[in-house]
Structure 1
Amino acid sequence: MTRLDVPSPSPATATDGLAHDTELLSASLIGVLEEQMGRVFASRLQWLFKTAASVRAGDETAVGRLVSYLSGVPDESVEPIIRACSLELQLANIAEERERVRRRRQYDATGEVQRESLAETAEILERNNVDVAPLAAQLQIEHVLTAHPTEATRRSVLDHQWDVAALLDRLDDPRIGHSRRRALLEELREVLTLWWQTDELRRIRPRVEDEVRRNLFFFEAVLFDAVPAVLAEIEHALDVRLVQPVLSYGSWTGGDMDGHPEVGADTLARALQLHRRTALTLFRDRVDRLARMFSHSSLRIPLSQELTESLDQDALDLPSAAVLRRPHREWEPLRTKLGFVHHRLGNTLTPRGREPGYADAQALRRDLELVLAHLNSRHVALGTIRRLLWQVDVFGFHLAGIDIRQGAGVLREATAAILPGYGDADGEPRRQALLTEALASGRRGIEHDPGGEAGELLRVLDTVALSADAYGPQAVPAFVISMTEHPSDVLAATWLAQRAGATSLRMVPLFETRSALEQAPATMAELYACEPYVAHLRAQANRQTVMVGYSDSGKDTGYVGSTWALYNAQEQLAAQATEAGVVLELFHGRGGSPSRGGGRTYRAILAQPEGTVNGRIRITEQGETVSARYADAELAERSLEQTISAVMLASALPNPPVRDEWRAEMERLSERSRERYRGLVYDDPEFLRFFGQFAPIAELSQLNIGSRPPSRKGVAGVESLRAIPWVFAWTQNRLLLPSWYGAGTALAAGDLELQREMWRNWPFFRGLIGTLEMALFKSDLGVAERYLSLVDDDIAQRFWADLVAEYDSVVERVLTITNQGQLLDDTPALQRRLEHRNPWIDPLSHLQVELLRRVRSGREEARSPLLATITGIAAGMRNTG
């Protein structure tokens, strides 16, 4: 069996649960709105939903009624309507999530194997005679949480969302009676009222520390306990004993300096403290729970000399420990030991005089292993304490390693300021020679503060060096070099880190644009031939992480061209690393939207080129994908299970051979789609004016959804925009242009039968078409056309006619290749889920057009409700950036 033979999810039928939950939540909200805003408002809101649905159904008379109503709504009255639509939409999303949880439980209850689960993976591997133990032993999967300006939902709103989801779960229990159900419904209306009275918009732009705290919340609320549950499922489903934790976590919040003036040494130091404090607090809580459970009597368990001596030493070291005052401590040795462990963790968190804490997480592990050795029961040994040991292994005292990231341009500036001759070096060979000599000799260069971003980078590296002593090398594991173009960019980072004493940092070049991806193998070849860099790799266990960027390559060259460039780069980098004797780990900088690598992670991993996974992968979790995947423990476990399953299958099962004809066709598709895309986005002199009027890009800069500026300084036009707000703006107007433009022209000019063959037999091409199909389904030209009224007449129809023709072309070709009548006909459950949101997204879109018109005509009072429509649509569309 090859990866292509792995079954895809079977269509699921809609259940009454989703419809019931949707109706229950909507009715509860209407009751709240009647109390808060009056019956007339609630009635008008229902009329708005029905009229927007009629517009979608093609009723032209409904268009006139809707436009007439919206244009007449006063500015002060429109915001409550937007709030209500947005809340309905978010409730619809919660109902969908609960349906996913319900479906997962049904599979578990019936014993039927769920698709993309570890149980299914075990069956597939067994059928193919794969030895699971060594495969599981080599797994290393790391998710890196980032903070990009795509997550528009406030933490306070997230709290209310989770409360609603929890109440729905309790209402789903068939054992509850009438009185208990009534009480839960009253609690639901209370939560909805509090949510209604909560500000949806941030009044100030979040600080970096706010973003750090927000990501840490997902560890506290879900991930810390979900991860050991998944590891236990691996052992159960695959019948293996894990020798390493498989999963690990990273973060960019607090260390991502690239184009971010507020990130520096102070934010990194504070983020490290917050990570450590959160981890230690979580461990203290779990140890305290364990101590309450472990009431073992000394009469029932063996008491070794090692444990006795350990308790005596604890008593000497920790005279203020509360456990010393327990009257039964001598007869409950394990509870007593855990009491001392709890106290040492407290000392580590907040030092108390001369009393010791733990030097590192391994010291905590040794104490827990001592307890484990005295349990005298397999049942107990494989229970709570085993999960706690896994938490120590996965999260340590750092919780998630914080990568630092800076652009190659800043590295060049910093190096030129302190390495004599570098700034005047004539060409890349001379720069490499200077850096190679400096690395080999240990030369520090000039002690000089260049100021600005370059100076802050040097201070950050000093902080990294200090953090390795204070928190361990895993606290800041990697230096991501954005916009890497030359080997000297990586050598400069290596030298700057060495100079600061941050020798534990591993260098991670990030290749983002099409040209950088094409040059990546040549860049890495020169690094593998540089002896000082090879020495750096040896210190990293001969492991090289290379990051490939989906965002900027997609913005630079379009979806099809970007996807093919990424495929080629990964394939060549993997072959090259094998030849050089280097262990390659690919780091996928995926976003939420299709044009930034978004979509189903499971299929994306299976579509990776042969030999590029090999049991290890590093993936970013960006913006709203963090809350979408980790807002619920069971959905988090499902998401992690899918990723692990895909990595195992991609590592164990071969891809079908890629025929030369397929590669030639992909080269043609890539070039033709890129030509079409760039001809519009970069070469048409009027495009920037059209984009600025057709999409709310200028207004996005005023929305307090992320601490990072939306544009890069010193660059003009579309080039200045970061990829995330670029995609965000096209999602707002429902066109999703970066996800499909250019693909129609390219596909239509090719050999249909060849493309059908590629779709049937090549996982990569099947994944490409599947992601296109998803983007096309989410695109809505009927709604997008309403935004055309905001565009100058002299350019509106010219651009619109071209966009419609390209959209129609790609839809027609995708349907022909996949032999479907309508988009997503092969996945009706997904089709229904996406359509389920439209009745609430559509009113927001129509309102946004009207409010954009008002704001652009100078009516400042319309700005606040306009920003509310942006957050509402973002919450509904979910993969916004």
Structure 2
Amino acid sequence: MSRKPKLERFQENVSSKYQIYNSIFMTLPFDEISNTGVLLPLFSEICEKGYALDKNPSEIVHKFFERYVEKDKTETEKINLLFRFIQYIERQVVLFDAVEDAAFPIVNNMDGRGTLRNIKEEAEEKQKIGALKTYLERFKIRPVLTAHPTQFYPGQVLGIITDLAEAIEKDDLLAIKKLLAQLGKTPFFKKEKPTPYDEAVSLIWYLENVFYHAASKIYNYIQQNIFKDEELNNQVIDLGFWPGGDRDGNPFVTTEITKKVAERLRSTILLNYHRDIRKLKRRLTFDGVEKRLAKLERMLYDNVYLRKEEGMLSLAAFEAELKAIKDIVVKKHQSLFRAEIEDLINKVKLFGYHFAMLDIRQDSRVHQGVFENIVETMKNRGEALFSIDYVNSSEEEKIKVLTHIDKKVEEKYFENEITNATISSIYAMKTIQDRNGERGANRYIISNNQSALHVMEAFTMLRLCDWKQPDVDVSPLFETVPDLQAAQAVMKTLYTNEAYAAHLKRRGNKQYIMLGFSDGTKDGGYLMANWSIFKAKEELTAISREYGIKVIFFDGRGGPPARGGGKTHQFYASLGSTVEDEEIQLTVQGQTISSNFGTLDSCQYNLEQLLSSGISNEIFSSTEAEFSEEDKKTMEALASVSYDTYVAFKKHPMFLPYLERMSTLKYYAKTNIGSRPSKRSKSKEFNFSDLRAIPFVGSWSQLKQNVPGFYGVGTALEHMEKSGQFEAVEKLYQNSSFFRTLLENSMMSLTKSFFKLTAYMKDNEEFGSFWTIIFEEYERTKRMLLKLTGYNELMENQQEGKASIHAREKIVLPLLTIQQYALRKIQELQKDPNASEEELKTFEKMVTRSLFGNINASRNSA
């Protein structure tokens, strides 16, 4: 490990290497575009100089054509050149990703702060190994891979990134050159939308090639170095999975797809076990062991490749057989290759026959309609579920009758498509559990949960599906600010309901509650969303402890800070003792998967950071409460002003028109990156509640305005300054790592903003004053954050992170310029009654194509 500062290691191993390999890439000829590599650096330079002189994107593009493109070139040829630039820039981003991946273990200290080795040594030093062991016997992390579309790389490109990173690590120039040539010819654009099954297969690649090895390596380390000869009876790392089970707003997720994904997860883990057993067979060639391993190899081969079910051992029997083989190795063969057999036993403990836990999710509004249809259909069949008029009864009356229900329904009873699909998805969970084990699919999430009735209706549907005592955790998802405020009352109603309380008792008195950072931020702004979730967690912890329930929080965190992401491990390490932290569960999506968990090194490092954030919070932190009453008051005041500011901004008459007409929002649906529709309803009407958090945040990101990550923060801080309360804010900043982490993530959003790109909008007759409002809040937030932190520049304490952001922003600046140029051309053509439809389509295609590289370049947002 180099002793050089992190920034210096980044510059040597990422920035410098990228420059070298990029210069090779730029000289490679691809088909008829031999001069593109020469012209792109010149265009980049024109962009940088142009914005420094306050030129707009159209002026910059025209200046470039005027200076560097022959006068006899047609408009079509010029447009084709811009499309080629887009292709090149996309691939430059891939190259930068690969260089950064290769340098990961050099730039990041793999044994440094927050790693397991560091934790173990600190525990030994402070004589807290006993406490560490006790904690690891109950603590878990669960990253849940979701198919939310923020990842624009097709599978082939992800493969090239992996191979490039390996070649760069070895400085294999010949291989690098070939891979760059391959990259130049590999298409990025998806002509068809993926199915939910396609999405699942893409993410299973990470499970098979990365998580399988990284998670087991961590578990082995804990077993061997912390527990030594004692057995660890806790998985520590669980993996979660949403593609194929997440029905919320995705009509393409069917019961058949859910079953197919579960089957793919099972066959993939068995395939991995088969590979490992083949390797073991080459080492464990001893008497009493060899034949037993051969039998297991044959069993797995028959199941995976020949689809033969007979002779397949149960999971418990498979694990017992591996342990029996280990015992023979220990007793008769001097423990030769014991670590290798233990590695496989640990993998079986971690991944079972399910590999990752498939969650089922649906919206409460859908459930409500489904449940009313069930009631109506059963009544028409002469098998009424209730003696009361259910639809017109009060919530209290409904919960009362749901408590004592004891009936059965089948999917064939229902002609309504959504009702049939909802019922069949519950029966599918039972089938998956029979096949893959209970951990295969044992959680049902209700998004947009607003009341106890929403949970009780979902819980009742489980019981109606011939499942009197469901082996399923029912998890409400609280998303909006009002829902978060009502969450404690909702859970109290459930904890005091006899049927639900009995269910929780059978499930080990654990209640899973999901909290939506992405939609919370979209709804209430950055500070209020995070503060509301923190307060909700405190209240939910208190009410759960009061009723003897262990609450497990599951955070719907996106990639960038604007969707509740940011430096995740810092966020969890900043939570105090008033928030239950027995498990850390969070969604991981899009480019966050490839950036944080895309290679063995980054996956192991980030899983260890997550583990350590829980451990340091519990074992090494001081016992002081996270917030004093005074600090809470300050935080409340900041969140309140920030919320009012953001809500007023959202209600501005230009808010939706600006997004619709000046941003790339409507182009997201054309990118074919995800199976899910880009908005919730089919209505052509453009309204805020239908907007999904990802295209919403992504559109601000494409504008380089990153509004959801900072809007309201500056006004809140300035309000405290003007009212003579800034000293209280400074105290809060000193005392609370939670507040510091929030502001650091907000600084990242500001760092990624670049208002010169859209400065031309300030002169727009319709939107000029609206653009100015955003820019002034950006300037205000930047000024106030620098004043509060004492920094001279944003992200002063994260120099290497800032260097990565600046390098990526420099790569995509020409791309953003082309995008804005195309948007301006579209606006011009839409006003021209004689405009050609063909020309309009060309520029719309240019906008869509330019989305890809910019999003991919944002991978360090997590």
Among 17, 20, 25, which residue is 2:21 paired with?
25
Listed as ranges, the gaps of 5+ residues in structure 1 are: 1-8, 172-183, 299-332
Distance 1:446 1:192 in 2: 52
Match of 1:830 in 2: 801
Aligned with 2:404: secondary structure? Answer: helix
Q: Does 1:528 align with 2:490?
A: no
Aligned with 1:545: secondary structure? Answer: strand
Q: Does 1:718 align with 2:685?
A: no
Alignment of 1:739-778 (within 5 A): 739-750=709-720, 751-778=725-752
Among 371, 387, 402, which residue is 2:358 paired with?
402
Distance 2:423 2:474 in 1: 16
Q: Does 1:487 align with 2:455?
A: no
Match of 2:464 in 1: 499
Distance 1:800 1:524 in 2: 42
Alignment of 1:260-659 (within 5 A): 260-296=250-286, 298=287, 333-349=288-304, 355-359=310-314, 361-376=315-330, 380=336, 382-419=338-375, 420=386, 421=388, 423-438=390-405, 441-442=406-407, 448-449=413-414, 451-502=416-467, 503-652=470-619, 653-654=621-622, 656-657=624-625, 658-659=627-628
Match of 2:434, as an amino acid? D
Among 12, 21, 24, which residue is 1:16 paired with?
12
Distance 2:546 2:652 in 1: 44
Match of 1:670 in 2: 639
Match of 1:53 in 2: 48
Contact 1:613 1:647 (8 Å CA) reproduced:
no
Structure 1 800/355 Cα, relative in aligned 2: closer, same or farther at 3 Å?
A: closer
Q: What TM-score does the superposition give when structure 2 sets the normalisation length?
A: 0.90
Distance 2:557 2:65 in 1: 38
Deviation at 1:147, TM superposition (A): 0.4
Aligned with 1:392: secondary structure? Answer: helix
Structure 1 721/575 Cα, relative in aligned 2: closer, same or farther at 3 Å?
A: same
Deviation at 1:778, TM superposition (A): 1.2
Give CA deviations for 1:179-204 in whole Å, capped at 9, x if unaligned: xxxxx322222111111111111010
Distance 1:60 1:351 in 2: 65
Distance 2:735 2:8 in 1: 28
Aligned with 2:201: secondary structure? Answer: helix
Distance 1:711 1:838 in 2: 28
Match of 1:754, as an amino acid? A
Structure 1 497/730 Cα, relative in aligned 2: closer, same or farther at 3 Å?
A: same
Distance 1:350 1:93 in 2: 35
Distance 1:725 1:389 in 2: 43
Aligned with 1:584: secondary structure? Answer: strand
Q: Does 1:734 align with 2:722?
A: no
Aligned with 1:289: secondary structure? Answer: helix
Structure 1 103/461 Cα, relative in aligned 2: closer, same or farther at 3 Å?
A: same
Match of 1:874 in 2: 855
Alignment of 1:160-175 (within 5 A): 160-171=160-171
Alignment of 1:162-201 (within 5 A): 162-171=162-171, 184-201=172-189
Deviation at 1:837, TM superposition (A): 1.4
Deviation at 1:140, TM superposition (A): 1.5
Structure 1 353/613 Cα, relative in aligned 2: closer, same or farther at 3 Å?
A: closer
Match of 1:232 in 2: 220
Contact 1:564 1:670 (8 Å CA) reproduced:
yes
Structure 1 763/352 Cα, relative in aligned 2: closer, same or farther at 3 Å?
A: closer
Structure 1 778/70 Cα, relative in aligned 2: closer, same or farther at 3 Å?
A: farther
Distance 1:414 1:61 in 2: 52
Contact 1:137 1:244 (8 Å CA) reproduced:
yes
Aligned with 1:263: secondary structure? Answer: coil
Structure 1 457/446 Cα, relative in aligned 2: closer, same or farther at 3 Å?
A: closer
Distance 2:253 2:63 in 1: 47
Aligned with 2:328: secondary structure? Answer: coil
Distance 2:826 2:311 in 1: 61
Structure 1 632/446 Cα, relative in aligned 2: closer, same or farther at 3 Å?
A: closer
Deviation at 1:796, TM superposition (A): 2.1
Deviation at 1:77, TM superposition (A): 2.6
Match of 1:719, as an amino acid? S
Distance 1:162 1:798 in 2: 46
Listed as ranges, the gaps of 5+ residues in structure 2 are: 67-74, 376-385, 830-836
Contact 1:230 1:641 (8 Å CA) reproduced:
yes
Match of 1:362, as an amino acid? A
Contact 1:417 1:450 (8 Å CA) reproduced:
no
Deviation at 1:96, TM superposition (A): 2.2
Distance 1:491 1:595 in 2: 32
Distance 1:524 1:289 in 2: 50
Aligned with 1:257: secondary structure? Answer: coil
Structure 1 655/515 Cα, relative in aligned 2: closer, same or farther at 3 Å?
A: farther
Q: What TM-score does the superposition give when structure 1 sets the normalisation length?
A: 0.88
Aligned-pair identity in percent equals 23
Q: Does 1:797 align with 2:776?
A: no
Contact 2:654 2:770 (8 Å CA) reproduced:
no
Contact 1:669 1:746 (8 Å CA) reproduced:
yes
Structure 1 residues 379-388 or 842-851, which shifts more?
379-388
Give CA deviations for 1:842-878 in whole Å, capped at 9, x if unaligned: 0000000112234453421233332221001111122
Structure 1 378/605 Cα, relative in aligned 2: closer, same or farther at 3 Å?
A: farther
Aligned with 2:515: secondary structure? Answer: strand
Deviation at 1:588, TM superposition (A): 0.8
Structure 1 347/427 Cα, relative in aligned 2: closer, same or farther at 3 Å?
A: same
Aligned with 1:795: secondary structure? Answer: coil
Distance 1:564 1:57 in 2: 38
Distance 1:659 1:412 in 2: 41
Match of 2:94, as an amino acid? Q
Distance 2:608 2:184 in 1: 35
Alignment of 1:196-215 (within 5 A): 196-215=184-203
Deviation at 1:234, TM superposition (A): 3.0
Structure 1 589/353 Cα, relative in aligned 2: closer, same or farther at 3 Å?
A: closer
Alignment of 1:55-134 (within 5 A): 55=50, 57-58=52-53, 64-69=59-64, 74-104=78-108, 107=109, 113-126=111-124, 128-130=126-128, 131-134=131-134
Deviation at 1:471, TM superposition (A): 2.6
Match of 1:43 in 2: 38
Distance 2:849 2:307 in 1: 48
Structure 1 35/706 Cα, relative in aligned 2: closer, same or farther at 3 Å?
A: closer
Structure 1 residues 604-613 or 444-453, which shifts more?
444-453
Structure 1 26/37 Cα, relative in aligned 2: closer, same or farther at 3 Å?
A: farther
Structure 1 residues 46-55 or 209-218, which shifts more?
46-55
Contact 2:103 2:169 (8 Å CA) reproduced:
no
Match of 2:209 in 1: 221
Deviation at 1:124, TM superposition (A): 3.8
Q: Which has the higher contact order (CA 8 A, sep 6+)?
A: 1
Contact 1:551 1:597 (8 Å CA) reproduced:
yes
Contact 1:590 1:620 (8 Å CA) reproduced:
yes
Contact 2:249 2:676 (8 Å CA) reproduced:
yes
Deviation at 1:23, TM superposition (A): 2.0
Distance 1:151 1:704 in 2: 11
Contact 1:735 1:780 (8 Å CA) reproduced:
yes
Deviation at 1:235, TM superposition (A): 4.2
Match of 1:247, as an amino acid? I
Contact 1:397 1:471 (8 Å CA) reproduced:
yes
